[in-house]
Amino acid sequence: MVLENDVEGIAKLADIHIQKEELAEFTSRFNHILEYFDILDTVSEGEEGEADLVNVLREDEVTPSLTQEAACANAHETEDGHIRAPRVM
Amino acid sequence: MVKEYFFEETDRTNAFITRLDLAMYEETGGPLEGKGIAVKDNISTAGIPTTCASRILAGYVPPYDAHVVTCLREAGAAIVGKTNMDEFGMGGSTTENSAYGPTTNPHDASRVPGGSSGGSAAAVGAGMVDMALGSDTGGSIRCPAAFCGIVGLKPTYGRVSRYGLIAFSNSLEQIGPLGKTVADVNTLMSVIAGPDPRDTTAYDRPYTHTPSNDIAGMKIAVPRRILRRRCGPCCCRACAHCYRKTGRCRCRDADLFHSLHGLCPCCILCDLYE
């Protein structure tokens, strides 16, 4: 069960601004989504494994890719050919 | 040889975020040569702004093409623009949640076109283009195609490479075709479906389906319980009309026991709210 306090705390951690009047709506939605886990808990786990799965990783070989200039073209700020991002913490 | 395609259609539904009045295509002899195709604005197009209908990506110009866009160009298509959508594919199925204003339904401007690929569906429904690309996680091609009276397909997961699609939910979504007819959808599907080493979830088998209107001997499964519980009377009547039209076929009641269990992970992963 999620309470309004929890939603406020999660929003703060995620740096998302939620208005006071939105809290009840978000709390209700969080709880509704958690109910889906209760439904999934009713599914019985089968005995069969996933024996047919195969690995699809490729060999680690260098192939042609974007130039540094093209990769940085959309960055707001660059430094020595790298993308410079603002501090987040 | 590179040729010019003049895209002069009036956009009365706000279907496009970016439009190219002069689009280019190559004479490749491909199945889409000289055809104007619209592309949802969450699919990367080199040199053409791609916004996902969000101000966060305003001014972003992808440095590379999505795999499906490369396929379109090789098939001779002219990409005439990028279509409106719900922001990043989220926020309901209406194409009202766009930073570039809502798209309206081409058949009735007071109604929504469905979403999140509402711009692509409206562009086809309004006759601006014959075909368009959308993407579908939880109904984002199928709903707007139905709302706009056209045909849309969410391919089986893995059928179409997601390389260059700005992701909403990697393990659920697919790029897919929208068109006026089943034949058009099949043509576009045959162009975009196939293996791509840059998406390791893409099948390594070619797509070879040929649609046919011969339905003799087929059985059609009718999820009557879902129709009764989840659909309004108008929708049920329309479905019943279709079942009657299938005359030569036998409709069979089918219970889709796992549909709810399939929906739950989708709602959890995508923060959907039913």
Nearest Cα residue in chain A from B202: A56
Are the Cβ atoms of A32 and B200 closer than 8 angstroms? no
Question: B267 — contact with chain A (CB < 8 Å)?
Answer: yes
Average pLDDT, chain B: 93
pLDDT over 70 for what percent of chain B?
A: 98
Question: B204 — contact with chain A (CB < 8 Å)?
Answer: no
How many residue pairs from chains A and B have C-beta atoms closer than 8 A?
Answer: 36
Contact yes or no for B42/B135 (Cβ under 8 A):
yes
Question: B268 — contact with chain A (CB < 8 Å)?
Answer: yes
Contact yes or no for B94/B121 (Cβ under 8 A):
no
Contact yes or no for B72/B92 (Cβ under 8 A):
no
Identify which of B249, B25, B13 has the alpha carbon closest to the alpha carbon of residue B115. B13
Whether residue B104 is predicted with pLDDT greater than 70 in this model: the reply is yes
pLDDT one-digit tens code per residue, B188-203: 999 999 999 999 999 8
Residue B1 burial (10 A CB sphere; 0-12, 13-18, 19+): exposed
**With a cut of 70, which residues of chain A have pLDDT below it?**
47-50, 89
> What pLDDT, on the 0 to 100 scale, is given for residue A49?
65
pLDDT one-digit tens code per residue, B50-81: 999 999 999 999 999 999 999 999 999 999 99
Nearest Cα residue in chain B from A69: B63
Identify which of A22, A23, A20 has the alpha carbon closest to the alpha carbon of residue A3. A23
Chain-centroid distance, C-alpha B229? 27
Best of B45, B50, B273, B274 to mutate (most A CBs within 10 Å, chain A): B273
Whether residue B274 is predicted with pLDDT greater than 60 in this model: the reply is no
- Taking the C-alpha atoms of residue B65 and residue B163, their distance in angstroms, rounded to an integer, is 9
ipTM over 0.85: no
Local structure of B220: helix, strand or coil: strand
Chain A nearest C-alpha distance from B68 (Å): 18
Are the Cβ atoms of B264 and A40 closer than 8 angstroms? yes
Chain A positions in Cβ-Cβ contact with residue B271 (cut-off 8 Å): 33
Whether residue B143 is predicted with pLDDT greater than 90 in this model: the reply is yes
Side-chain-side CA neighbours of residue A37 (13 Å): 9
Whether residue B35 is predicted with pLDDT greater than 60 in this model: the reply is yes
> What pLDDT, on the 0 to 100 scale, is given for residue B273?
58
- Taking the C-alpha atoms of residue B121 and residue B130, their distance in angstroms, rounded to an integer, is 10
> What pLDDT, on the 0 to 100 scale, is given for residue B140?
95
- Taking the C-alpha atoms of residue B87 and residue B91, their distance in angstroms, rounded to an integer, is 7
Nearest Cα residue in chain B from A65: B64
- pLDDT mean over B178-185: 97
- pLDDT mean over B15-29: 97
Are the Cβ atoms of A74 and B273 closer than 8 angstroms? no
> Domains (ranges, CATH) in chain B?
2-192 (3.90.1300.10), 219-270 (no CATH)
Question: A37 — contact with chain B (CB < 8 Å)?
Answer: yes
Identify which of B68, B86, B85, B90 has the alpha carbon closest to the alpha carbon of residue B77. B68
* A29, A43, A66 member nearest B273 (Cβ): A29
- pLDDT mean over B39-51: 98
Annotated catalytic residue B245: no
Question: B31 — contact with chain A (CB < 8 Å)?
Answer: no
Annotated catalytic residue B161: no
Chain B positions in Cβ-Cβ contact with residue A56 (cut-off 8 Å): 200-201
Annotated catalytic residue B171: no
Are the Cβ atoms of A39 and B260 closer than 8 angstroms? yes
* B61, B265, B273 member nearest A74 (Cβ): B61
Chain A positions in Cβ-Cβ contact with residue B265 (cut-off 8 Å): 36, 40
pLDDT one-digit tens code per residue, B226-268: 888 888 899 899 888 988 888 777 888 888 878 878 888 888 8
Best of A36, A40, A66 to mutate (most B CBs within 10 Å, chain B): A36
